[in-house]
Each structure stands twice: as C-alpha cells, then as structure tokens.
C-alpha cells in the first residue's frame, strides 16, 4: 500500500488544485509565479499600514488638544 494518491490543495494564488508533495517546490502554490504574487501581496499589505498612520497628521491632533485646554481655562 505505498501507492497513495498525491495530496492536493487549492493553490492560494489561483485556487487551482495543486499537488502538495515534496516534488512540488512551490507548494502549497502551483507555481513560482503564484508564490511570488502572494508574497508581493503580503509585502504590499505590510507597507500600506504604516503609510496610512503617517497620513493622520499629528499636527491636527495637537491643535484639537490646544482647543480643549483653552476652553478649560476660560
């Protein structure tokens, strides 16, 4: 009973059935291309978060705090 059918998974890149086996160097992806696309996708997600935080403009937050303090003084 050594003739097991190869285990198959859906490629995270293109959802096609992919052989999950040491013979497939790109597992669980079907190909190098899908693997690189997925890595690039995660890299973009990683870079997008700090970019949005930089867009918060802390200067506006400081101005709002100043307004609150001056209203307490009056």
Contacts with Zn ion, residue ranges (CB under 5 A): 11, 13-14, 30, 34
Task: Answer yes or no: are the C-beta atoms of 47 and 72 closer than 8 Å.
Answer: no
Task: Answer yes or no: are the C-beta atoms of 50 and 41 closer than 8 Å.
Answer: no
- Measured from the CB atom, is 30 or 47 closer to Zn ion? 30
- Measured from the CB atom, is 16 or 43 closer to Zn ion? 16
Q: To the nearest whole angstrom, how small is the minimum distance from the Cβ of residue 48 to Zn ion?
A: 23
**Is the C-alpha dihedral spanning 38, 40, 45, 46 positive or negative?**
positive
- Measured from the CB atom, is 21 or 65 closer to Zn ion? 21
């Amino acid at each position: 009973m050594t003739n097991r059918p190869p285990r198959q998974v859906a490629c995270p890149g293109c959802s096609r059935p992919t052989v999950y086996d040491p013979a497939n160097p790109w597992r669980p992806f079907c190909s190098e291309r899908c693997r690189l696309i997925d890595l690039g996708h995660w890299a973009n997600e990683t870079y997008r978060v700090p970019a949005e935080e930089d867009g918060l403009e802390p200067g506006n937050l400081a101005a709002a705090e100043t307004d609150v303090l001056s209203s307490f003084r009056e």
